[in-house]
Amino acid sequence: MSPDILTVLIEKYLKTQQNQYIFSWQGGEPLLMGLDFYKSATNLQKLFAGPGSVIGNGIQTNGYLIDDEAAEFFSEKKFLVGISLDGPEELHNRFRHIPGGDNAFSKVLSAVRILQKHNVEFNTLTVVTSAHVKKGKTVYNFLKDIGSYYHQYIPCVEYDRNGKKLPWTIDGKQWGIFLCEIFQLWLNEKQRPSIRLFDSIISVLLGLPPGICQMEKNCCQYFVIEHNGDVYPCDFFVKDYTLLGNITKDDWQTLLDSEKYKRFGAQKTLWHSDCNRCEYLRFCAGDCQKHRLPGTKSVLCEGWKLFYKECLPEFKRLIKNSSDFFNQA
């Protein structure tokens, strides 16, 4: 992204009326831009921020380029750093390879230690692949052991052009079993880590917004701004047919009011007719559109049902005994 496009993006966003302004920096690998890019971004945020504006920055990285200078900057500017970490070495390195043969796991673990040294707030993002089948307990305990108390788990579901499942894809039942495994460990903790999915389920049970888009009934949640200023509705749908406009040419409100954006958001409720009779619909909302076509069930449906059938009663018990939950959370 050029300095000119970065300036336009930040200026237009900060002119909108928001309770809080959130910038989520992603790539590819966003640290390839160099630290000066993010120093410039925070300076522009300060320049264009209105009185009393609350601005948050998050960055999702593989960690390979994190050093003391970067960690000190993230600490000073209060960045939330998401570290991609798929578990212990044999799991992390299973599908993450570095050209030249460097050990990906060693690099990311080094990054975690540097972030901890500089008191940077971080969470771990674990991509759950076919290699993680029946390894939920192993992954959960590993993340806790290295000092991660904010976990996010996302299922890896990918197919080739012919619709054939790729080797790292996890199926629905395997995903459900994985979630059940980590839930049972989490449930019995005296001090429970924050697991994004579990936090969202608690929020829904309390009558609050879930906080994650897959559980919402509309996919108008955020904008993706590409390096050239092109605007899309979702990072899973950066496609020619979902292009909304360009931040250098289009007004922010025009993009929000775009019929294409609204249609994309409304597609979330085009789930299978069976979903209307499902007792878990309020939590699943048909799942992420990436995992289904309009009018079809999510490829992870079996796993979601397995997880909610086994674990939802315990979530409800925690809510009923709220002092038990909130004293330990």
Q: Is 235 marked active-site?
A: yes
What tokens does 136 get? 């939920």
Written as one string, the DSSP assignment of 29-92 is SGGGG-HHHHHHHHHHHHHHPPTT--EEEEEEE-STT--HHHHHHHHHHTPEEEEE--SSHHHH
Q: What's CA 304's distance to the chain center, in Å?
A: 18
Q: Compute φ and ψ for 148, nearest 5 degrees.
A: -90, 120
DSSP state of 165: B
Which distant-in-sequence residues (6+ apart) come within 8 Å of 219 by Cβ? Answer: 213, 233, 234, 264, 265, 267, 268, 289
DSSP state of 131: G
Q: What is the dihedral of CA 254, 255, 259, 262, to 10 degrees?
A: -130
Distances (CA, A) of 318 to 101, 152, 201, 311, 313: 46, 20, 11, 11, 9
Q: Catalytic: which of 235, 251, 274, 324?
A: 235
Is the four-CA dihedral 186, 197, 236, 255 of positive or negative sign?
negative
CA–CA separation, 277 and 297 (whole Å): 13
Contact 237, 264 (CB under 8 A): yes
Q: Compute φ and ψ for 234, nearest 5 degrees.
A: -165, 145
What tokens does 127 get? 């991509």
Catalytic residue numbers read 235
